[in-house]
């Protein structure tokens, strides 16, 4: 099968969407499908070896490492003509994803969308989405639908000017967007439930993304790993956090848990924060809490190094309440780290008391971290279980499940 993957998040941006796309592309190629990826070009971007990549000119937005890419309609049409995809699989609703969605509608191409991001939840951390969701809605529709689109945008503006909540309007807009695709995939049952609230007519297929297995490190990457290990607490009992340093990741809750629960119970506990974002804000927070000595800020890590850095730690802390899957949980599991997650809706992504702990409150989150630090026997048992579960779910297996969805549209 010929598949075109379109994404606005891609390497070297290290987030769940970029990882999911890379994993799916590799899995499809491993299963002998003809796959190509359209993505933004960044300074450190490099075309993949095992599949074709079309990297579009882009610039940094200053929003969480995301880039805004642009290709002309004619250029995208030529890419489609060259690749002749049976299915166009869109992973984001940025500029590239929206252009691809419009092209699929105009050209009657089979389209699949993976709902990776909870856009409604992200509005607080990224206020630009309060304008972005209406823009997404308007951008996906065809010229003959402009009257209905204009009416919806006008009603939203009227509500906003009245000082009332625009959330009902945003929900209706996202519901209409979800209805544009032939099939919708979600990475967790949590996201399926959220999408059903937004678009009751939608019947999404739940397919978790698989973590990417990286091969032997190149000499430059091995050198970078050595340098980064000097920045972290390389203690088998250290707590790891991997992700953006931004409000939607709820990192402040983890820092407060360290100060109020973890360090009083385990004075030797240490926290490694791996990621980029508002670093100074969280460094100041750690200092004000009096825990700077116990917290290491390592900065962003290339995807190939994340597993190696995690293997130097003892467990993963995942305080975010906005994740649709939390792919770093699977990355940690691959190296035998159990996870403690705050989001009770991620039950299933983490199997409570089997591959980690699912906390139902901030107090329980801190208590679970303490328990795993104090009980290496439990930590090792949960980590071994997590590794076993993660090892079975490869990129090829992930791709196979996605191909089952493609087959519903294009029977072979």
Place of tokens 């809605």: 137
Instruction: Average the pLDDT over 339-348 and give the result.
Output: 93
- Residue range 23-48, pLDDT digits in tens: 999 999 999 999 999 999 877 656 56
Count up the domains in the chain and report the number. Answer: 2
The CATH number of the domain holding residue 136 is 3.40.50.2000
Strands 271-274 and 239-242: parallel
**In this model, does residue 12 exceed pLDDT 60?**
yes
State whether 257 and 119 are in the same domain: no
State whether 173 and 252 are in the same domain: no
* pLDDT at residue number 45: 56
Q: What are the contacts of 344-349 at 24+ separation with CB within 8 A?
A: 345/190, 345/193, 346/188, 346/190, 346/318, 348/188, 348/189, 348/190, 349/188, 349/190, 349/208, 349/325
* pLDDT at residue number 197: 94
Across 64-68, 77-81, 158-162, 279-283, least confident range: 64-68
* pLDDT at residue number 64: 65
State whether 164 and 281 are in the same domain: no
State whether 50 and 103 are in the same domain: yes
**In this model, does residue 411 exceed pLDDT 70?**
yes
State whether 289 and 173 are in the same domain: no
Place of tokens 């739940």: 206
Grade residue 278 by pLDDT with cuts at 50, 70 and 90: very high
State whether 335 and 401 are in the same domain: no
Q: Are 298 and 231 in contact (CB under 8 A)?
A: yes
Instruction: Average the pLDDT over 210-238 and give the result.
Output: 92
- What's the pTM value of the predicted model, to 2 decimals? 0.92
Main-chain dihedrals φ then ψ at residue 319, nearest 5 degrees: -85, -5
In which domain, by residue range, is 147 found? 2-210+395-409
* pLDDT at residue number 46: 60
Grade residue 141 by pLDDT with cuts at 50, 70 and 90: confident
State whether 48 and 140 are in the same domain: yes
**In this model, does residue 347 exceed pLDDT 90?**
no
* pLDDT at residue number 106: 92
116 vs 334: CA distance, rounded Å: 21
Across 41-45, 50-54, 177-181, 298-302, least confident range: 41-45
Q: Are 136 and 126 in contact (CB under 8 A)?
A: no
């Amino acid at each position: 099968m010929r598949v075109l993957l379109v994404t606005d998040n891609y390497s070297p941006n290290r987030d769940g969407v970029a990882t999911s796309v890379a994993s799916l592309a590799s899995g499809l190629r491993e299963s002998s499908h003809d796959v190509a990826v359209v993505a933004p070009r960044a300074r450190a971007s490099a075309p993949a070896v095992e599949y074709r990549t079309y990297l579009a000119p882009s610039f940094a937005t200053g929003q969480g490492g995301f880039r805004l890419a642009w290709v002309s309609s004619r250029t995208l049409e030529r890419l489609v003509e060259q690749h002749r995809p049976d299915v166009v699989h869109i992973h984001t609703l940025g500029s590239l994803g929206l252009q691809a969605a419009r092209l699929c509608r105009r050209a009657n191409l089979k389209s699949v969308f993976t709902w990776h991001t909870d856009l409604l939840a992200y509005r607080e951390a990224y206020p630009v989405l309060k304008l972005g969701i209406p823009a997404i809605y308007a951008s996906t529709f065809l010229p003959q639908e402009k009257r209905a689109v204009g009416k919806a945008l006008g009603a939203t503006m009227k509500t906003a000017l009245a000082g009332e909540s625009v959330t009902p309007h945003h929900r209706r807009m996202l519901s209409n967007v979800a209805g544009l695709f032939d099939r919708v995939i979600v990475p967790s049952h949590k996201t399926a439930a959220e999408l059903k609230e937004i678009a009751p007519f939608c019947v999404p297929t739940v397919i978790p993304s698989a973590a990417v297995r990286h091969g032997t490190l190149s000499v430059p990457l091995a050198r970078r790993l050595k340098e980064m290990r000097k920045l972290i607490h390389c203690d088998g009992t250290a707590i790891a956090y991997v992700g953006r340093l931004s409000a939607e990741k709820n990192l402040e809750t983890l820092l407060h848990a360290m100060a109020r629960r973890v360090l009083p119970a385990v004075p030797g506990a240490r926290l490694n924060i791996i990621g980029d974002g508002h670093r100074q804000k969280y460094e100041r927070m750690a200092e004000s809490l009096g825990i700077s000595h116990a917290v290491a800020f390592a900065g962003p890590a290339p995807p190939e190094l994340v597993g190696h850095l995690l293997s130097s730690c003892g467990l993963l802390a995942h305080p975010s309440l906005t994740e649709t899957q939390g792919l770093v949980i699977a990355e940690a599991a691959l190296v035998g780290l159990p996870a403690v997650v705050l989001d009770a809706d991620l039950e299933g992504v983490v199997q409570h008391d089997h591959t980690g702990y699912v906390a139902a409150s901030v107090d329980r989150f801190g208590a679970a971290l303490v328990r795993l630090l104090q009980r290496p026997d439990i930590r090792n048992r949960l980590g071994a279980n997590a590794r076993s579960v993660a090892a079975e779910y490869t990129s090829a297996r992930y791709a196979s499940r996605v191909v089952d969805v493609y087959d519903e549209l294009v029977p072979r």
